[in-house]
Amino acid sequence: MRRGGLSVNGRRTIALAGIILAGAASVSAADDLSAVATLGKQMFFDASLSASGAMSCAFCHTPANHYGPEPGIVVEQGGPGMDQPGFRTVPSLAYKSLTPTFTIGPENATSEAAEAIPMQVAETSDVVPFSATSAMAKLVAANQAPTTAKTGNTSGNMVARGGMFWDGRSQTLQDQASGPLLASFEMANTDIPALATRIRASYGKPLGQLFGDQILSDDRMTVDEAAYALARFQVEDPSFHPFSSKYDAYLAGKATLSAQEAQGLKLFEDPKKGNCAACHLDKPDATGKPPLFTDFEFEALAVPRNPAIPANADPAYHDLGLCGPLRTDATLAVNCGLFKTPTLRNVATRSVFFHNGVYTKLADTVRFYVLRDTQSDRIYPKAADGTVLAYNDLPAAYRGNIDRVDAPLDRHPGDPPALTDAEVDDIVAFLNTLTDGWHP
Ligand code: HEC
Ligand code: HEC
């Protein structure tokens, strides 16, 4: 691991090296990366960029856990004193460089076809790039039907797709990087000038060499170039997109699924059973690129409220995803309760599931889909009088947004669940084939 003579002080260099060594051998050697990405890599592991001096990107996005959280963490604690709890579970950063930018556009044949080809989506003519100030985007959002079902295909059905975070509020990896550096409950730099000062202290020299010394006299540019370096690390380092799961080997004809895994795959795809592949795409795209297990679209699944999130102690607090509170530019009611469909690659290595981490077992997460409306008493808590508090994390005003059309979420109370417990286990066995680093 080459450190390129950066002015990281002695103590921190030792800590930095320790993290990398303890992290994962799979993070590639610096020599494979461009100079910018190498700098981004150092920043990624550098806790001195945080107000506490204790929190790097890797603190929450652990390389050994596919850049996801340490086991058992529902929300991380950050801030200057490392005691400010976050609001959402830490996503894995693997495969995130392949996320299309945030758009709102029609759900039609063109976008369905484009769905399988990330990064080209923003270029299809009928998809409107979203901008906070664009009246056009608001108009488009206003036409969005409450339930944008894949099966509905009503012309004029508008769907939100892509972007970074559970609510898509950042367009790209570069836009995203200043988010955690500035968030009061994460790395907690107070503002852009404070952050720029901190970046210059450790990285002024290499940043000047790479981008020209003039960027150092502009706080915004200093932060932007540091964010660019962080993004380049995630784009270039193969450890962020290894495509080395058993399922990748199976698609390449180099592995055979066990009987249970194969049965799980069948159920995952069957529109009358799991129907999971309708949103978590599992086939190579038109150009032959392996699937990312997400169509990047936003849905309101109405997962149960998680009392383990400190903010939820306030009954008036609701995380409404696309419509806020962390995102502030898509506040129309039709957007409330919608979250981005995550990749399922490496999902079996997670210990908390969904944006609020309400489930700690993968089987329970899968079971949610088939029991939500058929046996809601097994999903949601009950009031003192025994009434089931269905959809208890979404205010009544927004419950029209809940996806009740896509199977298996289309069933009614008393209907048989679309999957038996044994079939849920089969799907879990299949999901286990999506973990990278598989060896025959
Ligand atoms: C305190 C823990 C914490 C730290 C430190 C942190 N993150 Fe995150 N990261 C999160 C959480 C939580 C989310 C999801 C937040 C949301 O959706 O609102 C997230 C989301 C992301 C995403 C978007 C992923 C997706 O699924 O869309 C990227 C990319 C990312 N972080 C990169 C970084 C980088 C780069 C750094 C360092 C500059 C960093 N993170 C530091 C907790 C953290
Ligand atoms: C209508 C689209 C849709 C369908 C169908 C669907 N999902 Fe999802 N999935 C989502 C969305 C959206 C989320 C995130 C929801 C949230 O956090 O509020 C998600 C989240 C998940 C997660 C949690 C991942 C994580 O990182 O926390 C798992 C596991 C999962 N889905 C598995 C499945 C399985 C298995 C099926 C089939 C039984 C399925 N999904 C069907 C849209 C869908």
For a mutational test of ligand 1's pocket, the pick from 41, 42, 45, 61, i.e. the residue with the most ligand atoms closer than 8 A to its C-beta, is 61
Q: What is the pLDDT of residues 404-430, one digit of tens each?
A: 999 999 999 999 999 999 999 999 999
CA atoms of 247 and 143, how far apart (whole Å): 39
CA distances from 30 to 2, 131, 227 (A): 6, 36, 18
Ligand 2 pocket: which of 265, 296, 360, 369 to mutate (most atoms within 8 A of CB): 369
Identify the residue whose tokens are 């009031």.
383
User: 55 in ligand 1 pocket by Cβ < 6 Å?
Assistant: yes
Residue 326, by phi and psi: left (phi above 0), alpha (psi -120 to 50) or beta? alpha
> Which residue minimizes the CA distance to atom 34 of ligand 2?
276
Closest CA to 438 of 262, 249, 257: 249
Query: Quick one: what percent of the chain has pLDDT higher than 70?
Result: 82
Scan for tokens 């949601």, then name that residue: 380
Residue 267: exposure state from Cβ atoms within 10 A (0-12, 13-18, ≥19):
buried
Torsion of CA 71, 91, 1, 237, to 10 degrees: 140
Closest residue (by CA) to atom 11 of ligand 1? 90
Q: Residue 173 pLDDT more than 90?
A: yes
State whether the beta carbon of 406 lies less than 6 angstroms from ligand 2. Answer: yes
Nearest residue (by CA) to ligand 2, atom 32, is 366
From ligand 1's centre to the CA of 269, what distance in Å?
30
Which of 93, 97, 189, 319 has most ligand 1 atoms within 8 Å of its beta carbon, as the pocket-test mutant? 93
Contacts of 63 (CB under 8 A, 6+ apart): 23, 24, 26, 27, 239
Residue 86's nearest CA partner among 198, 15, 177, 166 is: 166
- Of all ligands present, the nearest one to the C-alpha of 171 is 1
Report how far Cα 296 is from the mean position of its chain's Cα atoms.
9
The stretch 133-150 carries a mean pLDDT of 37
Q: How large is the average pLDDT for residues 375-394?
A: 97
Nearest to 281 by CA among 106, 161, 372: 161
Q: Give the whole-angstrom CA distance, residue 112 versus residue 227.
A: 32
In angstroms, the CA 226 to CA 77 distance is: 24
CB of 50 sitting under 6 A from ligand 1 = no
Between 14 and 350, name the one with better pLDDT: 350
Q: What is the pLDDT of residue 140?
A: 35
The answer, yes or no, to whether any atom of ligand 1 lies below 6 A from the CB of 192, is no
Q: Return the closest-CA partner of residue 159 out of 176, 140, 175, 183.
A: 140
**What does the pLDDT read at residue 218?**
97
Kindly report, residue by residue over 64-96, the tens digit of the pLDDT: 999 999 999 999 999 999 999 999 999 999 999
User: Please, are residues 337 and 381 in contact by the beta-carbon 8 Å criterion?
Assistant: no
What are 412's two structure tokens?
């009614």
Convert the pLDDT of each residue in 152-172 to its tens digit. 323 347 899 999 999 999 999
> pLDDT tens-digit profile of 203-240?
999 999 999 999 999 999 999 999 999 999 999 999 99
Distance 58 CA to ligand 1 centre (A): 10
Tell me the C-alpha distance between 53 and 241, whole Å. Answer: 29
Instruction: Kindly report, residue by residue over 36-48, the tens digit of the pLDDT.
Output: 999 999 999 999 9
Residue 295 has pLDDT above 90, yes or no: yes
Nearest CA residue ID for atom 6, ligand 1? 57
In tens, the pLDDT along 342-354 reads: 999 999 999 999 9
d(CA 328, CA 170): 11
